[in-house]
Amino acid sequence: MGSNIVIICDGSFPRTEYPRYLIRTADFIICCDGALKKFIRNSKAIFGTERLPDRVIGDMDSLPESLRKKYSDIIVKIDEQEHNDQTKAFRWAMENIEGIESITILGATGQREDHTIGNISLLMEYARMYDLEGAGIQVQMITDHATVVAVTDTVEMDCGEGRQISIFSPDNTLKIKSEAEAAANKEIAASLTPSLIEKIKYEQWNGVMPSVQGADGIIFDVN
């Protein structure tokens, strides 16, 4: 079986070219339950002809009985309710497909906010459960607007100029270092000469520096 896996959840189906390109070039495609209906509707626009995913995985509560019967040969029904369909599909792929290099999750956002938050947070669970970094497996969640990855160790990201990056940490041990920010802060600090500080004191605060009660430090409100 193939090494580049795409899992399509039953959220907002991709409309932009990049995630559709990932579907088109995937070695193995898994639809989560009701996502099969959206895949069938969009397959001709993506592939130029109608086609089916390789597997449909979930508890099948969102799939009409007519489709369950029609596509029974590619359906893997998993009834347990301890995990959502995204996790069922991910676990099935990890346990049944050999030589995985990447797993891309699409359609995991865009409708119910609670599902969106839950699906994104599961990336960290997958990373820890399967030691994805140690296994050399790249896992990413892609939407029409963003790429989401889980990081469990030190990582260096070359983001490029003008790109927006958000970082969320499940604990307070995360340390972020930005070379560009460090260089900018050093340059700003070097420019704050005693005479400039005195000038700012009189222009901004009538000669009196503001103070913060209960903490040490100085605030510079330089506009």
Q: What is the pLDDT of residues 134-186, one digit of tens each?
A: 788 889 999 998 888 888 777 777 776 777 777 777 666 667 666 655 565 66
Same domain for 92 and 47: yes
Ranges 37-46, 50-59, 69-78, 105-114: which has the least confidence = 105-114
Same domain for 91 and 30: yes
Residue in the block written with tokens 């005693």 = 194
In a domain, 192, yes or no: yes
The Cα–Cα gap between 203 and 201 comes to 6
Average of per-residue pLDDT values in the chain: 82
Same domain for 127 and 19: yes
Q: How many CA atoms within 13 Å lie on the side-chain side of 90?
A: 27
| In the predicted structure, residue 30 carries a pLDDT above the cut 80 | yes
Give the range of the structural domain holding residue 199, as residue numbers without chain letter: 174-223
Same domain for 178 and 141: no
Domain count, the chain: 2
What ranges make up the beta strands (E) of 18-146?
Answer: 28-32, 55-58, 75-77, 102-106, 138-142
List, as own/partner pairs, every contact residues 37-46 make where C-beta atoms lie below 8 angstroms and the sequence separation is at least 24, other chains included.
37/63, 37/67, 38/8, 38/10, 38/13, 38/107, 39/8, 39/13, 41/13, 42/13, 45/20, 46/20
Same domain for 81 and 186: no
Axis-axis angle for helices 35-47, 17-24 (nearest 10): 90
Same domain for 179 and 135: no
What pLDDT, on a 0 to 100 scale, did the predictor assign at position 214? 41
Same domain for 127 and 189: no
- Between the CA of residue 159 and those of 25, 121, 162, what are the distances in Å? 25, 22, 8
**Higher pLDDT residue, 206 or 28?**
28
Confidence of residue 221 (pLDDT cuts 50, 70, 90): very low
Same domain for 48 and 118: yes
| In the predicted structure, residue 13 carries a pLDDT above the cut 90 | yes
- Using DSSP's 3-state secondary structure scheme, residue 72 falls into helix
CATH number of the domain where residue 42 is located:
3.40.50.10240
Same domain for 183 and 142: no
Same domain for 100 and 15: yes
Same domain for 186 and 142: no
The residue type at 5? I
Nearest to 75 by CA among 98, 92, 91, 87: 92
In a domain, 69, yes or no: yes
In a domain, 161, yes or no: no
What pLDDT, on a 0 to 100 scale, did the predictor assign at position 121? 87
Confidence of residue 49 (pLDDT cuts 50, 70, 90): very high
Q: Positive or negative CA dihedral for 127, 133, 137, 141?
A: positive
Token code pair at residue 131: 């030691």
